[in-house]
């Protein structure tokens, strides 16, 4: 069975500072994909970043980077230079399919990030 | 390039009624997945459709059914509504490519309230 754990219900960060959102996962699969999504209060899930289990380099997308530690089964999201518009719920998710986003996504419970001026 | 669209935006029903939610995938996508997100929770996978067939299903009762049309759009039907079915229903679309890593793009969701 797949399980995603996000232990931080809420995080606060000052504008322009960096913040790390924690995510650990549990799976017996050798091949899987890890994702982070942002969900503003409007409800839409916005894709941020993807990491394949066989990718040796940590994924980066603009101000987002994924700190992937396979042996520890962690996939933390780092947001650099936080902006007020980053305030939202952030979800870590995993698919057990082989490097593909086509399978079902398993989500954590989310972390509410608040960026203050 | 239109993204994933869902209708309606909001819906209020009473217990025992039936509801149909609709989803149009992002242009060029052929796979549609449905998720239920209860308040304060992460989304839970309901099922996935590809080539007009249900390909995967999560732990949801048969009251939840779906359909995919030749134009790749999809419907989610829920029969005999329960209070616990109140949630945000999210549709996600993707392109089924062999070994691909195409992202699942989500729509804005339909918020269903069951009274």
Higher pLDDT, A5 or B94: A5
* Count of CB pairs separated by less than 8 Å, A with B: 73
A1 pLDDT higher than 80: no
Task: Supply B45's token pair.
Answer: 């996978």
Nearest Cβ partner for A45 among B48, B106, B111: B106
What does the alpha-carbon distance between residue A38 and residue A111 come to, in Å, rounded to a whole number? Answer: 10
B68 pLDDT higher than 90: yes
Residue B102 has a pLDDT of 62
Nearest Cβ partner for B101 among A4, A44, A50: A50
Report the relative pairing of strands A10-14 and A111-116 from DSSP bridges.
Answer: parallel
The answer to whether the CB atoms of A109 and B41 lie below 8 A apart is: yes
Task: Supply B103's token pair.
Answer: 């992202």
Task: Supply B16's token pair.
Answer: 């025992």
A101 pLDDT higher than 90: no
Residue pLDDT, tens place only, A10-36: 999 999 999 999 999 998 888 888 999
Contacts of A98 in chain B (CB under 8 A): 99
Contacts of B100 in chain A (CB under 8 A): 100-102
Residue B98 has a pLDDT of 52
pLDDT tier at A2 (50, 70, 90 boundaries)? confident
Distance from CA of B66 to the nearest CA of A (A): 16
Contacts of A42 in chain B (CB under 8 A): 108
What does the alpha-carbon distance between residue B104 and residue A38 come to, in Å, rounded to a whole number? Answer: 13
Instruction: Enumerate long-range contacts of B57-65, CB under 8 Å, 24 or more apart.
Output: B58/A104, B60/B36
pLDDT tier at B2 (50, 70, 90 boundaries)? confident
Comparing alpha-carbon positions, the chain A residue that sits nearest to B38 is: A109
b/e A73-90 (16+ beta carbons within 10 angstroms → b): ebbbbbbeebeeebbbbb
**pLDDT over 90 for what percent of chain A?**
76
Please check whether residue A103 touches B, CB under 8 A.
yes
The answer to whether the CB atoms of A107 and B43 lie below 8 A apart is: yes
Burial zone of A68 (CB within 10 Å; 0-12 exposed, 13-18 middle, 19+ buried): buried
């Amino acid at each position: 069975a797949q399980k995603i754990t996000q232990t931080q219900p809420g995080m606060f960060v000052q504008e322009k500072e960096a913040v790390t959102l924690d995510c650990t996962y549990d799976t017996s699969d050798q091949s899987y994909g890890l994702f982070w999504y942002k969900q503003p209060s409007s409800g839409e899930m916005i894709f941020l970043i993807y990491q394949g289990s066989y990718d040796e380099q940590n994924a980066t997308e603009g101000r987002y980077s994924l700190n992937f530690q396979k042996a520890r089964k962690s996939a933390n999201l780092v947001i650099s230079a936080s902006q007020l518009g980053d305030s939202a719920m952030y979800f870590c998710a995993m698919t057990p399919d082989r490097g593909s986003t086509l399978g079902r996504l398993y989500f954590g419970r989310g972390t509410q990030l608040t960026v203050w001026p | 390039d239109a993204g994933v669209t869902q209708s309606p935006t909001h819906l209020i029903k009473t217990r025992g009624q039936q509801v149909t939610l609709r989803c149009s995938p992002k242009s060029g996508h052929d796979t549609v997945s449905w998720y239920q997100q209860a308040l304060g929770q992460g989304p839970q996978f309901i099922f996935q459709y590809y080539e007009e067939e249900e390909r995967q299903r999560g732990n949801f009762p048969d009251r939840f059914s779906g359909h995919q049309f030749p134009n790749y759009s999809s419907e989610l039907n829920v029969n005999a509504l329960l209070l616990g079915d109140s949630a945000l229903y999210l549709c996600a679309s993707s392109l089924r490519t062999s070994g691909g890593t195409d992202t699942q793009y989500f729509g804005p969701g339909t918020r269903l309230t069951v009274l």
